[in-house]
Amino acid sequence: MKPKVTLVGAGPGDPELISLKGMKAIQAADVVLYDALVSVELLSYAPARARIVYVGKRRGRCEFVQQDLNQLIVDCALTYGHAVRLKGGDSFVFGRGYEEISFAQQFGIETAVIPGISSSIAVPALAGIPLTCRGVSESFWVLTGTTQNHSLSKDVAKAAQSSATLVILMGMQHLSQIVSELTGVGKAQTPVAIIQNGSMPEEKIGIGTVETIAGIVEKQQLTNPAIIIIGEVVRLHPSFENGRIEALAALGY
């Protein structure tokens, strides 16, 4: 069969949030290579003859280094035909999807990209937190909390000085540094939400401020996979009670 690689974004976790086009790609797959954050329910849509390969990555555990994974995707396409690379969220948002697609293209393999709903946008929305809101926030930054060398991104310090909403992925291990950066620019009272397992039945959410969030994380035992949302828009979450009322009043409601 003609080799092909299709990159499919599976969305934030809830299997129903995958696109129809992404679902059709799985149904047409000869082999599916899926990540740790992908709902295994989606694998049931693959043909019975399709090979299913787990290539997940978690902090502290990795089935494949990226270079080996790139080669595995190519080998699967050349051997079996249509290889669907199923990735959580959107594969072009901190998903290394471009690296995988460009590697396959070097072998003359046909490629396609099917976007997914990024957890950076979907998870706050599902929790009732808008990333932008008239009169509250005009923009947002989406940042990785952990760089290639496992340190906190320097962009966090730059973003902390803006009035934009900050959405930090993969940042739980650096939460104390994030708090320090924000406190250092006078934002100790800025609202913060941390959402673990967003969009899933086991979702947990902690709401507080930069000053209090570390204690809330410890009390609620919040951990990865989680998203950190920082900014005045967090006041619009129902858990803020009076703070939410004040925020809505400022908007004229």
Question: How do residues 116-165 score in pLDDT, each as one tens digit?
Answer: 999 999 999 999 999 999 889 999 999 999 888 889 999 999 999 999 99
Measured at the alpha carbon of residue 230, what is the angle toward residues 213 and 149, in degrees to the nearest 5? 85
In the chain the first and final C-alpha atoms are separated, in Å, by: 60
Distance CA 166, CA 229 (A): 6
Domains of the chain by residue range: 4-114, 119-251
240 CB-contact burial (10 Å; exposed 0-12 / middle 13-18 / buried 19+): middle
Give the residue-averaged pLDDT of 17-26: 98
Tokens of 8: 């499919």
Of residues 24 and 56, more confidence is placed in 24
Q: 223 Cβ partners below 8 Å, 6+ apart? A: 172, 196
Q: Considering the domain 119-251 in this protein, what is its CATH number? A: 3.30.950.10
Which of 92-96, 122-126, 235-239 shows the lowest mean pLDDT across its residues?
235-239
| Residues 218-224, mean pLDDT to the nearest whole number | 96
Active-site entry in 14, 30, 35, 90: 35
Q: Cβ atoms within 10 A of the Cβ of 119, count? A: 28
Give the amino acid at 220.
Answer: Q
* CB distance 190 to 162 below 8 Å: no
Tell me the mean pLDDT in the region 202-221.
Answer: 97
Per-residue pLDDT tens digits for 53-90: 999 876 555 557 899 999 999 999 999 999 999 999 99
pLDDT for res 96: 94
Task: Identify the pLDDT of residue 148.
Answer: 85
Query: Mapping DSSP to helix (H, G, I), strand (E, B) and coil, where does residue 196 land?
Result: strand
Query: What is the pLDDT, as a whole number, of residue 59?
Result: 55
Whether 35 is catalytic = yes
170 catalytically annotated: yes
pLDDT for 251 beyond 80: no
Per the CB < 8 A criterion, the answer to whether 14 and 199 are in contact is: yes
The residue annotated as part of the active site, out of 4, 170, 172, 187, is 170
pTM here is 0.92
Which fold does the domain 4-114 belong to in CATH? Cobalt-precorrin-4 Transmethylase; domain 1 (3.40.1010)
pLDDT tier, 252 (very low <50, low <70, confident <90, very high otherwise): confident
